[in-house]
Amino acid sequence: MKISSINVRSIQNTNRREIIYHALKQTDADIICLQECTIPYANSYKYLESGWDEGKAFFSGTNKSRSAGIGIIVKGSHLKIKNYEEIIKGRVANLEVITEDRQETNIINVYAPTDKQERCDVLEKLNILLLRQKRKVVVGDFNCVIDEVGGRRPDKSAKLLKTIIKEHQLKDTYREVNKIDKGYTWTGGRGEKKSRIDMILTSTEATVISFRIQPVFFSDHQLITAEIKEGRTIQRGKGYWKLNITLLEDKEIKAKYERKYKEWTSLKDACPNQIEWWDIVKEKTKAFFQIEGKKKKHQQTQELKKLQQQLEEYYKIENAGIGMGSEIQEGKRKIEEYYREEEKKIKFHSRVKEMEEGERCTSFFFKKIKEKKNKTQLKEIKTSGT
């Protein structure tokens, strides 16, 4: 199971939220915990949930602090949701899931206040919550450090957090795989302030496979992801194949397929009947589009990968003490630009004629895409002379 955490620095604005959601969809995490969502308390958070079409989404807001608000979003349906509970509105929430190895695990999302005393109050309540949990993963922005790095020393709240880690036999997933590097997750000011205040803590019986710190364009915090193995794993089947219909809009791929299809017509004489020939063509068609789809996806992601790697290099240089503020901002701008272009593609593929320039990419468009896919069926293939 892969769990990510990111302080999003607000998802209240619709356009900003959609761009962030789209960026998070590109991650390979099973569960993503969000902090500093800046959402007020509400009886329903459908306006936040509806934009996330990858799986279930849970949010908690409060009117006590403008910057508070947390969310837990799930990718896919392979994790069964057993229960969701708000512990402290806008600050702490618990999502109980049943993993693929049929074990109940509690994912606890924490956004600790910047005020030291308020932070201690939140951690005290977290301490009580953990008494009734067995398998658990505690994720979030704790706004305090347990390592003396970056010029920020552990305070009273940090000592309390260290006590919680010890008493509940939790382990710091980052330190499990990296004993030396500072692992900064937040950079403030012009880069002169750095600290590791974002963490993923897990029960001692879990095995930490990997940990990644990844810069994002929409926050001064970095996205952290831990891959955790708990118990035996269950292998999934291959499932069923669906044609990516956007490939049919690529003129080069379309022309290439038509040439292939003409080649396959020569197989008719070798088949006892038309049905068997058609079964062969269907398999070849599937293999063709799978290969072409992978090629196109690879091409599309290369640019983003290059930009992301460049941004990570800028952060490494910055952490070494060389100012890279302008390069980092430019790198973030380019990545944001990429995702905005992706958003335009989503709008285009929905084929909604009434769409006006500047109209938001809401769940309405995603619904239209799904409707289009349901209606689009390849019943026959026609070429000249056939």
106 annotated binding-site participant: no
Closest to 243 in 3D by CA, of 125, 114, 379, 138: 379
Q: Is 244 annotated as a binding residue?
A: no
CA 122, 127, 132, 133 dihedral sign is: positive
Q: 304, exposed or middle or buried, with CB in 10 Å at 0-12, 13-18, 19+?
A: middle
- Per the structure block, which two tokens stand in for 120? 């201690």
Q: What are phi and psi of 96, to 5 degrees?
A: -95, 120
Residue type, 84: Y
Q: Which of 21, 30, 45, 111 is catalytic?
A: 111
Q: Is 220 annotated as a binding residue?
A: yes
Annotated binding-site residue? 15:
no
Cα three-residue angle 326-331-334, rounded to 5 degrees: 125
Instruction: Report the distance separating Cα 63 and Cα 89, nearest Å.
Output: 9
Question: 83-86 — which CB contacts under 8 Å span 24+ positions?
Answer: 84/58, 86/60
Euclidean distance between CA atoms 354 and 34, whole angstroms: 34
Which listed residue (141, 168, 174, 338) is catalytic?
141
Alpha helices in the chain (DSSP H): 14-25, 46-49, 116-130, 156-167, 173-177, 251-264, 274-319, 325-350, 363-375
Contact 33, 93 (CB under 8 A): no
Q: Tell me which of 21, 184, 198, 221 is the catalytic residue.
A: 221
Q: Is 127 assigned a ligand-binding role in the annotation?
A: no
Task: Give yes or no: 141 in active site.
Answer: yes
Q: Is 298 annotated as a binding residue?
A: no
Which active-site residues does the annotation give? 111, 141, 221
Q: Which residues are annotated binding-site positions for Mg(2+)? A: 7, 36, 141, 143, 220-221
